[in-house]
């Protein structure tokens, strides 16, 4: 593994000064802009203004050399309740040599713990396998991606999840656990997440990762035909197929095919369009379209939001109406009861009278 | 670290049978639906149909016990060109005891290499620090989150990035590297990514992570006032502020505050609304609104897409028009040249005549 970086000799040395060092200085005006300052907050709580860090250089950095290697207790890599050997911890390994044996392939990952569902396609030079947890898969990717195996730099990626659904329209009281409870009825669930913002506030959106496609299809179909309700308020969860995106490695020059169009488009360097030029005019028209799109979508959102608020009010009104009806029925029952008691009393009075009369006759 | 799981005794043991085992069986019908089968493909290449895995039990799993700990060469944790000690490798540590010293705090992370920008807020019981790379921060989170420090389970999270922008409207030839080149003019860039789909195809969207907020604000302002062009085609990159979301830990029962509304909403269990009921009617109306929203947004997308295609055609036409004009100008230049040559020839003829006449006179 020592030749980790040989494929790319341009890799900077670890000792290089961190760009982050520039931040504290250039960031100092931030506190003047509260909106921007807020964005710097850590999740779920607010953080110190940048200046606090700047004022205390003593806390800036701990510059002694770090260790060259580390030993990890693998039993720590399991979140409470985390499922193991899921599709989330599945690795896709490309550019493996056709003559690699399954043993050699598995051996590559031996140090990361047990492997499952190992698959090798030698013709197309790739393999798949699962490790116990996601973090183990991420560590294996970080260590092995680009290393030479049989003199080929292998490419290691986290494979995309094949049975994921997106959910929307979740009330703020819905949690990961409630989602799992609700969706387990369709089949084995690997992971359910209520997406939160950088302050830990729920966004109303969520992710359901099933163990297989059959369960995912079933959930999608049943929740599209029927209305799955998670809480008291009858607002149904909206379930949609989920696309997978890569925001980790992205598109690098190395892997982009160099087509004629590539060379044509890349003739010019990045630049700002100069007013009065041919391209400035067209750029402006592009932007006008983008603006229009943004505006129109905001309009749709506004309309739908208002319609939903109206619907919620109607729901509230209907609930009150319902309660009123119950109260009326209750009142009628009581009146009926009263009438019956009156009846009995009269009968009792009658009987007394008759008894008294008999006494008089004696 | 051995008491890692004490806060949650319910943690299952690592030896438990992986739910993934169920997949291959229940997934076998998948190949009947090619669309669904495709979704199982690994990124950037297609993968074997699920049945291939099922047919060969020999390749199913490597069941020998994995190691209990692993030793990692920390020099491997650096992607080629990856910046170090960025906001992406910044950890937020909550629920630390007020009497923790900075040395104790730093010591917690010593095994993960050097730390920078260490900050502790003892009143509010949290700290911040940066590790060298993202994967080191993720490992530290996985190992330390929930461990007892001074008898308190600390919460370790990846802090949200304070200086991120979203970009849209990228042509397919735009790469991570081109984004970095284009946005470095506004200040130090930590990371630039062109988001790709699960086949590695660019989505036209990207992420720019600056080292500080000043640079991010500058980029946002300049690209909103002017039109930044990355390639030949004058289609400007659209830059927007980026919200940070947590899809990793999500919203768990443990951290959700139990308000009266929580108890009211959670009275009922998840269920499908029954036709003819009060809630079924309202659920249906909710869904109708969702449908309407979806439909209207698709309509907006369609209109904008058509407008953009029209604009591109006009751009092409204008390019041709421009070329025609150049050709006309060229033709005129040539005609002018020709006329000039005629002129010279006539003058030459004149002179000859005069010379001949002089000879005749002698």
B130-177 pLDDT per residue, tens: 999 999 999 999 999 989 998 999 999 999 898 999 999 999 999 999
C-alpha distances out from residue A244 to A163, A299, B23, B116, Å: 10, 28, 19, 34
User: Which H or E element spans position B261?
Assistant: helix B260-265
Q: What is the least distance, in Å, from the CA of A307 to any CA of chain B?
A: 8
> What gap in Å lies between CA A162 and CA B43, rounded to an integer?
11
CATH fold match for the domains B87-158 and B164-241 = yes
Buried b (16+ CB within 10 A) or exposed e, A78-107: bbbebbbbbbbbbbbbbebeeebebeebbe
| Nearest C-alpha in A relative to B12 | A81
Going by C-alpha positions, the residue among B224, B305, B225, B241 that lies closest to residue A289 is B305
Cβ–Cβ under 8 Å, residues A217 and B268: no
Arithmetic mean of pLDDT over chain B: 81
User: Which H or E element spans position B265?
Assistant: helix B260-265
Of A159, A211, A272, the CB nearest to B23: A211
> What gap in Å lies between CA A214 and CA B30, rounded to an integer?
7
Does A49 have pLDDT greater than 50? no
* The pLDDT value given to residue A65: 57
C-alpha distances out from residue B352 to A174, A263, B339, B348, B359, Å: 104, 57, 20, 6, 11
Enter the CATH code of domain B87-158: 3.30.70.330
pLDDT tens-place string over residues B275-332: 988 889 889 998 899 889 999 999 999 999 999 899 888 888 888 888 888 889 999 9
Cβ–Cβ under 8 Å, residues A143 and A109: no
The torsion angles phi and psi of A144, rounded to 5 degrees, stand at: -95, -25
Does B23 have pLDDT greater than 70? no
Q: Which residues pair with A130 in a beta bridge?
A: A90, A116
> What gap in Å lies between CA A74 and CA B68, rounded to an integer?
6
Q: Poorest-confidence range of A146-155, A178-187, A314-323?
A: A314-323
Going by C-alpha positions, the residue among A25, A45, A62 that lies closest to residue B212 is A25
Going by C-alpha positions, the residue among B260, B183, B216 that lies closest to residue A26 is B216
Q: What is the least distance, in Å, from the CA of B332 to any CA of chain A?
A: 23
> What gap in Å lies between CA A77 and CA B70, rounded to an integer?
12
Q: Kindly indicate the confidence band of residue B33, based on its pLDDT and cuts at 50, 70 and 90.
A: very low
Question: Cβ–Cβ of A68/B68 closer than 8 Å?
Answer: no
* The pLDDT value given to residue B11: 35
State the DSSP string of B128-171.
EEE-SSHHHHHHHHHHHTT-EETTEE-EEEEPPPSSEEEEE---
Q: How buried is residue B227: exposed, middle or buried, by Cβ count under 10 Å (0-12/13-18/19+)?
A: buried
Q: Which residues pair with A129 in a beta bridge?
A: A91
Q: What is the least distance, in Å, from the CA of A149 to any CA of chain B?
A: 15
What residues of chain B lie within 8 A of the CB of A249, using their CB?
A: 193
Q: What is the least distance, in Å, from the CA of B29 to any CA of chain A?
A: 8
Q: Kindly indicate the confidence band of residue B66, based on its pLDDT and cuts at 50, 70 and 90.
A: low
* The pLDDT value given to residue B45: 40
Q: Poorest-confidence range of A257-266, B52-61, B97-106, B134-143?
A: B52-61
State the DSSP string of B227-247.
-EE-SSS--PPEEEE---EE-
What residues of chain A lie within 8 A of the CB of B212, using their CB?
A: 22-23, 26-27, 30
3-class DSSP string for chain A? CCCCCCCCCCCCCCCCCCCHHHHHHHHCCHHHCHHHHHHCCCCCCCCCCHHHHHHCHHHCEECCCCCCEEEEEHHHCCCCCCCCCCHHHEEEEECCCCCCCHHHHHHHCHHHCCEEEEEEECCCCEEEEECCCHHHHHHHHHHHCCCEECCEECEEEECCCCCEEEEECCCCCCCHHHHHHHHHHHCCEEEEEEEEECCCCEEEEEEEEECCHHHHHHHHHHHHHCCEECCCCCCCCEEEECCCEECCCCCCCCCCCCCHHHHHHCCCCCEECCCCCHHHHHHHHHHHHHHHHHHHHHHHHHHHHHHHHHHHHHHHHHHHHHHHHHHHHHHHHHHHHHHHHHHHHHHHHHHHHHHHHHHHHC
Going by C-alpha positions, the residue among A56, A57, A50, A54 that lies closest to residue A32 is A50
Q: Name B340's Cβ contacts closer than 8 Å, sequence gap at least 6.
A: none
Going by C-alpha positions, the residue among B334, B142, B95, B78 that lies closest to residue A13 is B78
Does A80 have pLDDT greater than 90? no
Q: Count CB-CB contacts under 10 A for residue B336.
A: 10
Cβ–Cβ under 8 Å, residues B208 and B192: yes
What residues of chain A lie within 8 A of the CB of B114, using their CB?
A: 62-66
Does A12 have pLDDT greater than 80? no
Of A53, A111, A214, the CB nearest to B117: A53
Of B72, B133, B272, the CB nearest to A72: B72
Q: What is the least distance, in Å, from the CA of A218 to any CA of chain B?
A: 12
Which residue in the block uniquely carries the two structure tokens 């119950």?
A: A326
Question: Cβ–Cβ of A175/B256 closer than 8 Å?
Answer: yes
Question: Cβ–Cβ of A235/B286 closer than 8 Å?
Answer: yes
Retrieve residue B12's tokens. Answer: 């299952």
The greatest distance separating any two alpha carbons of chain A, rounded to the nearest whole angstrom, comes to: 131
Does B4 have pLDDT greater than 70? no
What residues of chain A lie within 8 A of the CB of B142, using their CB?
A: 76-77, 79, 133, 135
Residue B333 C-alpha from the chain's centroid: 52
Q: Kindly indicate the confidence band of residue B189, based on its pLDDT and cuts at 50, 70 and 90.
A: very high
> What gap in Å lies between CA B235 and CA B240, rounded to an integer?
16
Q: Which of B32, B33, B47, B307 to substitute to test the interface with A, most A CBs within 10 Å?
A: B47
More confident position, A128 or B58: A128
pLDDT tens-place string over residues B87-110: 999 999 999 999 899 999 999 999
Of B61, B236, B318, the CB nearest to A116: B61
Does B42 have pLDDT greater than 60? no
* The pLDDT value given to residue A322: 81
Does B265 have pLDDT greater than 80? yes
Going by C-alpha positions, the residue among B150, B89, B91 that lies closest to residue B126 is B91
Beta strands in B263-355 (DSSP E): 271-272
> Counting one residue from A and one from B, how many pairs have CB atoms under 8 Å apart?
603
What residues of chain B lie within 8 A of the CB of A66, using their CB?
A: 74, 110, 112-114, 132
The torsion angles phi and psi of A19, rounded to 5 degrees, stand at: -60, -25
In chain B, where the domains are located: 87-158, 164-241, 269-355
Q: What is the pTM of this model?
A: 0.73
Residue B15, helix vs strand vs coil? coil
Of B114, B195, B301, the CB nearest to A245: B195
pLDDT tens-place string over residues A300-329: 999 999 998 998 888 888 888 888 888 899
Cβ–Cβ under 8 Å, residues B195 and B206: yes
Retrieve residue A8's tokens. Answer: 């790319």
Cβ–Cβ under 8 Å, residues B250 and A208: no
State the DSSP string of B53-108.
HHH-GGGTEE-SPPPSEEEEEGGGS--TT--SS-GGGEEEEES--TT--HHHHHHH
Q: Which of A62, A77, A257 to substitute to test the interface with B, most B CBs within 10 Å?
A: A62
What residues of chain A lie within 8 A of the CB of B214, using their CB?
A: 26-27, 29-30
Which residue in the block uniquely carries the two structure tokens 């421009």?
A: B322
Instruction: Please tell us whether the domain made up of A164-241 is placed in CATH 3.40.640.10.
Output: no
Which residue in the block uniquely carries the two structure tokens 């600056």?
A: B210
Cβ–Cβ under 8 Å, residues B318 and B312: no
> What gap in Å lies between CA A12 and CA A315, rounded to an integer?
62
Arithmetic mean of pLDDT over chain A: 82
Among residues of chain B, what percentage have pLDDT more than 90? 57
Q: Considering just the CA atoms, what is the radius of gyration of chain A in Å?
A: 34
């Amino acid at each position: 593994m020592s030749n980790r970086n040989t494929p790319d000799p341009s890799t900077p040395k670890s000792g290089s000064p961190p760009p982050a060092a520039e931040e504290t200085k250039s960031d100092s005006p931030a506190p003047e802009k509260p909106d921007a300052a807020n964005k710097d907050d850590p999740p779920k709580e607010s953080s110190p203004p940048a200046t606090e860090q700047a004022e205390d250089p003593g806390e800036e950095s701990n510059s002694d050399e770090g260790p060259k290697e580390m030993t990890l207790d693998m039993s720590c890599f399991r979140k409470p309740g985390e499922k193991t050997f899921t599709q989330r911890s599945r690795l896709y390994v490309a550019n493996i040599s056709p003559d690699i044996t399954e043993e050699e392939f598995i051996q590559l990952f031996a140090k990361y713990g047990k492997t499952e569902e190992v698959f090798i396609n030698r013709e197309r030079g790739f393999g798949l396998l699962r490790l116990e947890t996601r973090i183990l898969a991420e560590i294996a990717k970080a260590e092995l991606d680009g290393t030479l195996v049989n003199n080929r730099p292998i490419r290691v990626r986290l494979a995309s999840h094949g049975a994921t659904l997106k959910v929307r329209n979740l009330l703020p009281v819905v949690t990961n656990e409630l989602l799992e409870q609700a969706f387990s009825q369709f089949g084995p669930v690997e992971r359910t997440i209520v997406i939160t913002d950088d302050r830990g506030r729920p966004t109303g959106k969520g992710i359901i990762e099933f163990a297989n496609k059959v369960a995912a299809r079933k959930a999608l179909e049943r929740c599209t035909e029927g209305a799955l309700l998670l809480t008291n308020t009858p607002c149904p969860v909206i379930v949609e197929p989920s696309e997978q995106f890569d925001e980790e490695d992205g598109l690098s020059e190395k892997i982009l095919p160099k087509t004629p169009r590539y060379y044509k488009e890349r003739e010019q360097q990045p630049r700002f369009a100069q007013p009065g030029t041919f391209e400035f005019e067209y750029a402006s028209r592009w932007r006008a379209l983008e603006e229009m799109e943004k505006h129109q979508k905001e309009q749709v959102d506004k309309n739908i939001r208002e319609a939903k608020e109206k619907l919620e009010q109607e729901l509230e009104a209907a609930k009150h109406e319902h309660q009123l009806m119950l109260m009326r029925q209750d009142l009628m029952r009581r009146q009926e009861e009263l009438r019956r008691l009156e009846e009995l009393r009269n009968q009792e009075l009658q009987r007394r009278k008759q008894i008294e009369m008999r006494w008089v006759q004696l």
